[in-house]
Amino acid sequence: MPISIKQTLARGECLQEVSESWKLDAELFLSHELGTTREYLYSRPNELVGEEHLESYEKYLERRMAGEPVAYIIGHKNFWNFKLRVDKRALIPRPETELLVEKALELGRHFDGRGANIADLGTGTGAIAIALALSNPGWQITAVDISQGALQLARTNALKQRTNNIEFRLASWCDGLALNKYDMVVANPPYVKPGDNCLEKSVLLFEPAIALIADNTGLGSLQQIILQSKKVLKKDSWLLLEHGFDQQARLKALLLREGYDSVSGYKDYSGIDRLICAHWSATQQYIE
């Protein structure tokens, strides 16, 4: 039997057990199912929801009750100024990663309008690569991931956004990238240590562990990127890394020890250490 939009949203109260944003979750599920906006739901509270839509909505609630992230259930996530398709092949982009995009675009002003070569390591959904490609059509982005599934998803997202300046490459970090070529390397690698209590059980159940967890207390992937990037960065270039809340000091020390300079750390929108930027100005370039 059909019920009103208002009554349908009220059924989302069951999500209070698993989600602090239960009300928003319910709104996203219903607006997605009806193909409308959240604002529409409140402008037509007495409009009836058909049984077919109601059945699908109830299934969304069940999946959310089991801990599945909202983005995987509705199949998309907003990032920067566009919408990404998301599924279990890649990590769901977080809002704090937009800080990396902002800083990359800010540093990109040093390129004086010329074309630039940018490597996005561990591209996942393609979020960072696509944001940079759309903001600077003259840049050439190389999006790298070790997961074939993630690369397929990133290609799908790039096609949807009609970018034509991204090259996708199946590799581990800097493997196979040209030496001394890149003006900037950016990465949001796994940086959570195994068994870390900060990971919700629901996240581990649904998001790929390879995109979340790194060895050496979460620093393993970051250390590899810092060491490998020296070989592929041009003289007078930049390395930008997203990292965990307690890793910035150790990364600063490692970057300085490895010959980077102008090392700066930044906090995310919640005031948590989240991003580190380093300049590569070594006079001795790596050669084959």
Beta bridge partners of 239: 185, 278
Residue 78 binned pLDDT confidence (cut-offs 50, 70, 90): very high
Residues 6-60: pLDDT tens digits?
A: 999 999 999 999 999 999 999 999 999 999 999 999 999 999 999 999 999 999 9
Tell me the three state secondary structure of residue 231. Answer: helix
Instruction: For tokens 């906006």, name the residue.
Output: 37
- If one counts the domains in the chain, the total is 2
Tens of pLDDT, residues 207-250: 999 999 999 989 999 999 999 999 999 999 999 999 999 999 99
Please check whether residue 198 is in contact with residue 192, taking contact to mean a CB–CB distance below 8 angstroms. yes
95 and 228 assigned to the same domain: yes
Is 288 within a domain? no
Domain of 224, CATH number, reads: 3.40.50.150
Position 236, amino acid:
D
Whether 39 and 104 map to the same domain: the answer is no
Is there a single domain that holds both residue 58 and residue 166? no
Q: Which residues pair with 112 in a beta bridge?
A: none
pLDDT for 286 equals 55
Range of the domain at 275: 90-280
C-alpha–C-alpha distance, residues 206 and 191, integer Å: 17
Enter the pTM of the model.
0.94
Same domain assignment for residues 106 and 246: yes
For residues 55 and 107, membership in a common domain is answered with: no
Residue 198 sits in the same domain as residue 109 = yes
- Judgement on whether residues 46 and 132 belong to the same structural domain of the protein: no
Any domain includes 165: yes
User: Average pLDDT over the chain, rounded to whole?
Assistant: 94
CB 224 within 8 A of CB 253: no
6-to-46, 57, 66, 277 alpha-carbon distances in Å? 6, 13, 24, 48
> Same structural domain for residues 131 and 37?
no
Same domain, 102 and 229: yes
Residue 24 covered by a domain: yes
State the chain's maximal CA–CA distance in angstroms: 74
What CATH number has the domain bearing residue 13? Answer: 1.10.8
94/149 same-domain check: yes
